Amino acid sequence: MTQETLNRIRKFTEDRDWDQFHSPSNLAKSIVIEAAELLECFQWDDEKFDEEHVKEELADVMVYCQHLADKLGLDPDEIINKKMDKNEAKYPVEKAKGSNKKYTEL
């Protein structure tokens, strides 16, 4: 995300004085709610979907993720890389290649 986009997201909240509603718990709820709206694009059909609608709902999820990162003072790159360390260890290439099994079953 560019700094400009990031600034816009933060300014949106600030201008509306919405930080008061942005508790971590409320933001976590919001992420699930928007994620389910994204899933609704695929509710009855996995193949045919309205791409414009998907874009909007995906954007909403991403924006709330950024709000939560901001609220907790987290750097997305840092937490993602830390989690990727774990994922790489949980799913070693030689075991996981071409398999959709959960790590507990590999």
Name the site residues for a copy of itself (rule: CB under 8 A): 1-2, 5, 8-9, 12, 15-18, 20-21, 23-26, 28-33, 35-47, 49, 51, 54-56, 58-63, 65, 68-69, 72, 74, 76-77, 79-84, 86-88, 91, 93, 96-100
Is 95 in contact with 106 (CB distance < 8 Å)? yes
Query: At its nearest, how many Å lie between a copy of itself and the CB of residue 24?
Result: 7
Let me know the angle formed at the C-alpha of 31 by 26 and 36, rounded to the nearest 5 degrees: 125
- Cα distances (Å, whole numbers) of residue 87 to 74, 83, 93, 96: 19, 6, 11, 11
Query: At its nearest, how many Å lie between a copy of itself and the CB of residue 81?
Result: 6
